[in-house]
Structure 1
Amino acid sequence: MPSHALFASYRRLFAAPGTAAFTLAGLLGRLALSMTGVSLVVLIAERRGSYALAGTVAAAGLATGAIGMPLLGRLVDRYGQARVTVPATLYNAVPLLCLLLCVRLGAPDWTLYACWAAGAAAPNLGGMARARWAHLYRADPAARHLANSFEQSLDELCFMAGPVLGMLLCTTVAPEAGLLTAGTIGTTGALLFAAQRRTEPPLTGLSPQGRQGSPLRVPGLRVLVLTFLATGAVFGSMEITTVAYADALGHKPVAGGLLALVAAGSCVAGLLFGLLAPRGAPGKRFLRGVAAMAALLLLPLAAGLGGAGLGLLGVALFAAGTGTAPTMVTGMTLIQELLPQRQLNEGMAVAVSGIVVGISAGAALAGTVAEHASPGTGYVLPAGAAVLALLIALAGRRHLTGSRALGNSERTVGVAR
């Protein structure tokens, strides 16, 4: 498809006033988020001389983020995006500055854990952006599908550019420059996002029973979260395994480019997937997406076990990346179908937390395999995690492909009021 046709297809999303403004603001926030991981590791490794310390500090942040993100999502659903995002963003800037000071002044290691854990639960701008699209195009499923595909491609774009920018700043300016820039960009983007009030979804109040309850009470969401957890393990194990494989071949600096190919494949697939007219129920599309992801992840496995060079591995990783975006896009669409609007932000935050936990577990397992097995063996992990995701989705398919959840009908009533 020509680029001008692709642009025209997505341009219709921005016909609604204010959509470009919240998209650009959210893009800044997500770019900052994608910079923080590598910036933190480089900073601590450079100033404290320990990758082990850097890794465990990062893990502490992932743990608190997985807990805090759904709690913030619940507050957003109850009080609104702006009323929660502004104080949460300003609060998160304080522990970040404290961590930079602690590293600079040589404070004890425990202060690094405390600071990073205290500020890791940032507002989920990606989820809030998807909630805005879901509200704006609540009567247009095709536009929601296009918007979810666009958001997934933006995520992949950020995770291609963010680590590169963070590494560049840390190595050419100062070890603190990556985190400092990420904090500045992230705070600015989140505050600008919160300022876009005309596209903010309205509050719909509590459930008819008067209790909010957890979105995990919806069986379909439980299936999705477990599937996303396994998908997160795909991401985490793929990253560590690729770095270890490139290092074993004596080309460790190339690992960043190889991982960018995975994200590039997902980005391209996401944009093209959005142009396809949705066929069948979202649950069935989700099952097909997970199956395709599992099949495509056999390519880097074959390349790794076969001792392929970095060129062939790069092709395999790009192809494997094309399987993740359709899965994530349809998964987010399913969440919008299963949950009422009053729980949409919390539900998407819970799903993202599942991914975060999976990334952490996959990275830890892949690190162990990389130390004790031959290069390429680690690609068994992302392939196996994708198969596990498929088995989970198949086991819970009746909750994904059956009749639409009660929450969706509640959402329609809420909007009508």
Structure 2
Amino acid sequence: MLSPYRRLFARPGTTAFTLAGLLGRLSMSMIGVSLVVLIAERRGSYALAGTVAATGLVTGAIGMPVIGRLVDRFGQARVTVPTVLYCTVPLSGLLLCVRTGAPDWTLYVCWAAGAAAPNLGGMARARWAHLLRDEPDERHLANSFEQALDELCFMAGPVLGMVLCTTIAPEAGLLTAGGLGAVGGLLFAAQRRTEPPTAGHPTAGHPAAGRHGSPLRVPGLRVLTVTFLSTGMIFGALDLTTVAYADALGHRPVAGGLLALVAAGSCVAGLVFGTLRPNGPAGARFVRGLAAMAGLLLLPLAAGLGGAGLVLLGVALFAAGTGTAPTMVTGMMLLQELLPQRQLNEGMAIAVSGIVVGISGGSALAGTVAEHAGPGAGYWIPACAAALALLIGLAGRRHLVAPAAAPERVVSAAR
């Protein structure tokens, strides 16, 4: 199974930008739990920690597409370096405000100001899309590997952040995350030979343009973004419901392991999926993936409502996780096919922003259900969100057509 991935990284420069991007993504996966632990420990309020974190999610969802547009226009390196250096300033300010007992509003200001970090995962995918623009099977393999890396980070990052905050100091998690993010971002920007051309350079099939409209003019991207928003609700609701369920059974420390099983299932599925040859149009494959994801998410619902216990719930969560990676991989592949290279970073940032907003909404909804219903009732939310994602995909499937099938329509829509 690993031989296709060895072939993928035989290309010059690919290992360097992948490892650098991995550092940045590990940083992002550490930040959430590190922030919550820091504020809860130093200020004694989980409510404050949660609202500060939510503020960052909102500003990040707004700022990420803006940074993506700048990247498309000026290049990854020219935008990533100043953005990474800038983000260290509000992060340092937040740590200082927490440490010195500054008013609560200063925490919101600092975290909102520094939340819009560069989307290294999206930029890595944009590099693969450029390097493998004439090799669709290899792009499928690369996107599968990137999704597996995302899942690996979301398994390791929160655990690392928690360990640092609880064994060294409450500030250690954010300090480490900030350092990893800065180093990873600067190293990523330094890999110039694999950097895609900017909007000012002509690319195959898409002539250069000085000014162009939002990629949201492409109907397919709107469908994908709303679908990813529903998928984000799955992630947010699944995480919080699992923690609440384990807590209700008196085994809250097990919740981290249960969530790791979801990520592990997705990671394994992503790696295996990458080795399979895609069949049929990407839009049809995406809808099939949504259907499989919706079906698999009925398993934790059945285990939670049926009182099956933590062992069977863990098996159900692992199985449910196997449905997310293939769907996300196909969605990202489809996005790369729908958009011209000159708008790819912005388009990916918009899609990721949809996921972030969905995670926030799913967590809030699951928290309300956890307080007012039985411990397993919250699993209705990811199951319903998956069904909603499927319905959106089915309703918009006529827009999920790659440029190869309708080049003139997609190019004109992107302008």
When normalised by structure 2's length, the TM-score is: 0.96
User: Is residue 28 of structure 1 aligned with residue 23 of structure 2?
Assistant: yes
Distance 1:84 1:313 in 2: 44
The CA deviation at 1:90 is 0.2
Report if the CA contact (8 A) 1:340-1:407 is conserved.
no
Q: Which residue does the alignment assign to 1:415?
A: none
Q: Which residue of structure 1 aligns with residue 84 of structure 2?
A: 89
Q: Is the 8 A contact 2:199 2:343 kept in 1?
A: no
Picking from 182, 200, 205, the partner of 2:200 is: 205
* Corresponding residue for residue 356 of structure 2: 356
Superposition RMSD on alpha carbons, in Å?
1.3
Percent of aligned pairs with the same amino acid: 79
The residue identity in structure 1 corresponding to 2:71 is V
In the TM superposition, 1:329-344 aligns within 5 A as 329-344=329-344
Please state if 1:108 is matched with 2:129: no
Q: Counterpart of 1:139?
A: 134
Q: Distance in 2 between matches of 1:299 and 1:405?
A: 41
Alignment of 1:136-175 (within 5 A): 136-175=131-170
Instruction: Give the structure 1 partner of residue 191 of structure 2.
Output: 196
Shift of residue 407 of structure 1?
7.8
For the residue of structure 1 that corresponds to 2:133, the secondary structure is coil
Question: Cα distance 1:405–1:164, how it changes in 2: closer, same or farther (>3 A)?
Answer: farther
Matches within 5 A, 1:268-417: 268-401=268-401, 403-406=405-408
Contact 2:199 2:208 in 1 (8 A): no
1:123 — aligned with what? 118
Distance in 2 (CA, whole Å) between partners of 1:242 and 1:208 is: 48
Residue identity in the other structure for 2:283: G
Shift of 1:308: 1.5
Partners in 2 of 1:208 and 1:104 — Cα distance? 50
Which letter maps to 2:387? V
SS at match of 1:178: helix
Distance 2:23 2:68 in 1: 20
Match of 2:182 in 1: 187
Kept in 2, the 8 Å contact 1:339–1:405? The answer is: no
Aligned pair count?
405
Q: Mind listing any 5+ residue stretches in structure 2 that lack a counterpart? A: 202-206
3-state SS of 1:15 partner: coil
1:211, distance to aligned residue in structure 2 (A): 3.0
How far residue 209 of structure 1 moved from its aligned partner, in angstroms, is 6.7
User: What is the one-letter code of the residue matched to 1:224?
Assistant: L
User: What amino acid sits opposite 2:17 in the alignment?
Assistant: F
Distance in 2 separating the partners of 1:139 and 1:409: 18
Give me the TM-score of the superposition, normalised by structure 1: 0.95
Q: Within 5 Å, which residues of 2 pair with 1:229-244?
A: 229-244=229-244
Mapped to 2, the partners of 1:137 and 1:360 lie a distance apart of: 34
Per the alignment, do residues 406 and 211 of structure 1 end up closer, same or farther by CA in structure 2, a change over 3 Å counting?
Answer: farther
CA contact (8 A) 1:337 1:405 kept: no
Asked whether the equivalents of residues 338 and 401 of structure 2 are also in contact (C-alpha less than 8 Å), the reply is: no
Separation in 1 of the partners of 2:27 and 2:125? 18
Residue 294 of structure 1 contacts residue 386 of structure 1 at CA under 8 Å; is this kept in 2? yes
Contact 1:294–1:390 at 8 Å: present in 2 too?
Answer: yes
Cα distance in structure 2, aligned partners of 1:28 and 1:34: 10
Which SS does the other structure have where 2:400 is aligned? helix
Q: Where do residues 255-266 of structure 1 align in structure 2 (5 Å cutoff)?
A: 255-266=255-266
Superimposed CA distance per residue, residues 93-132 of structure 1 (whole angstroms, 9 cap, x where no aligned partner): 1000100000000000000000000000000000000000
Q: Work out the CA distance in 2 between the residues paired with 1:372 and 1:96.
A: 36
- What is the alpha-carbon distance in structure 1 between the residues aligned to residue 8 and residue 135 of structure 2? 11
Q: 1:405 to 1:259 in 2, by over 3 A?
A: farther
User: Offset of 1:401 from its aligned partner?
Assistant: 3.9
Deviation at 1:405, TM superposition (A): 4.8
Q: Indicate conservation of the 8 Å contact 1:337/1:408, yes or no.
A: no
